[in-house]
Amino acid sequence: MQDITDLAFMQMLSEYGCPDYYVTEYFRVYANSNLDKNILKSITCNTTGRPVFAQLIGEGIPDMLRIAQQLTKYPIAGIDLNLGCPAPRVYRKNVGGGLLRELETIERIFEALRSQISGLFTVKMRVGFDSIANFEKLLELINQYQIDLLSLHGRTVKELYRGAVHYDLIRQAVQTVNCPVLANGNITSYLKAEAVLQETGAAGVMIGRSAIRNPWIFQQIRDRFAGQPVKVITLADVHDYIQHLFAITSQDNFREKSHVNSLKKFLNFIGTGIDAEGKFLAGMRLVQSKQELFDLCDRHLLTNPDHPFAIEPYENLVARPSCEASCETSENPILHNAHSAA
């Protein structure tokens, strides 16, 4: 997830239960672009013990090849191509999900990268741009260019994160392509992960936004598949998590108000599981200082600290993400046949 899954967030997740592997924020590829130093740190300084895939977004083939070649000098698990970002400011530049309108361009990119990438070459995409008219052809290209793994969000770009996820199309992909498929889209809990895997037959799930709301989700999935008791998360646990987030997002050049406001991109998701009435969310969007923030947290999380945090987001509450897009997430077979990624 752009502006979310940096090194600090990856390291923090490892304390709650790592996914099987990580995907970086995307490296923007364009003429004269260089490797983003902060994103590169999530590869070079990563101590989680999990593989990290380097994610690219762009359309210029010479520059894509140049950046991919540079990345091979670092300890990456593979190269991941973003064909799914639904942010309008991204797809209007004809990258990310915008490329799903241009099958010929995708084919040229696949051909160029596949010929140059000696390791794993993975793709993250949606089922189409504004329709599924090209979906079957996209799956053919996945096979033709021997993509090693497909992470598939079961919505079109235009559907953003609204409405039902087309899990039937993910099942179709599983039955069509020759590589493992990770199901993505509304994997909101360990129970939802289990249900989606049963419905789609996917090799695993990719999780993005739900890992912001519930960083325990990967360990919960792992325990569920292992037949072990699944940890019940309490409001006190969530209070500790918010304190943890505040600590890892601190920067020397941040004024307090800016720091608190930057934390809201996380709290927008966390708040959907705190109270059904949305009182925490409403109050959080008004706070401007650390004192106000943690007074709010104390009222909503420590008054009844043993109360369970909702397994699923409350249906009537909607997060308002300030981040650019979800790195669907991300979301190494260790859960029987199920993978999890962020």
pLDDT at residue 7 in the model: 96
On whether residue 90 sits in a domain, the answer given is yes
Find how far residue 87's CA is from the centre of its chain. Answer: 14
- Quick one: pLDDT at residue 315? 87
Q: Are residues 260 and 193 in the same domain?
A: no
- pTM of the predicted model, to two decimals? 0.92
d(CA 139, CA 135): 6
Instruction: Please give the residue range of the domain that contains residue 240.
Output: 235-302
Q: Are residues 241 and 224 in the same domain?
A: no
| Closest to 56 measured CA to CA, from 48, 47, 65, 43 | 65
Q: Do residues 283 and 214 both lie within one domain?
A: no
Q: Taking a C-beta distance cutoff of 8 angstroms, is the pair 42, 10 a contact?
A: yes
My answer on whether 30 and 159 are in the same domain is yes
Domain for residue 53, yes or no?
yes
The verdict on 44 and 105 lying in the same domain is yes
Are 103 and 118 found together in one domain? yes
pLDDT the model gives residue 232 = 97
Report helix, strand and coil shares of the chain as percent, to nearest 5: 45, 15, 45
pLDDT-flagged residues of the chain (< 70)? 319-342
Q: Report if residue 331 sits inside a domain.
A: yes
Would you state the pLDDT for residue 2?
A: 87
Return the structure tokens found at 132. Answer: 């599924």
When divided into structural domains, the chain yields a total of: 2
259 shares its domain with 196: no
Find tokens 């099942």 and name the residue.
Answer: 171
Residue 167 sits in the same domain as residue 96:
yes
Q: Which helix (H) or strand (E) holds 79?
A: strand 78-83
Q: Note whether residue 268 is domain-resident.
A: yes
Cβ atoms of 310 and 186 within 8 Å: the answer is no
* CA proximity to 214, closest of 226, 199, 231: 231
Cα 296 to chain center, whole Å? Answer: 28
- 3 state SS of 27: strand
Query: Taking a C-beta distance cutoff of 8 angstroms, is the pair 156, 185 a contact?
Result: no
Residues 155 and 79 in one domain: yes
Residue 313 domain-assigned (yes or no): no
pLDDT recorded at residue 316: 83
Q: Quick check: is 161 in a domain?
A: yes
Residue 312: inside a domain = no
116 and 38 housed in the same domain: yes
Together in a domain, 253 and 144: no
Instruction: Check if 18 is active-site.
Output: no
212 inside domain: yes
Task: Kindly state whether residues 109 and 163 are assigned to the same domain.
Answer: yes
**Residue tagged active-site, from 18, 85, 323, 327:** 85
Q: Are 174 and 181 in contact (CB under 8 A)?
A: yes
Q: In whole angstroms, how large is the CA radius of gyration of the chain?
A: 20
Is residue 340 within 8 A of residue 151, CB to CB? The reply is no
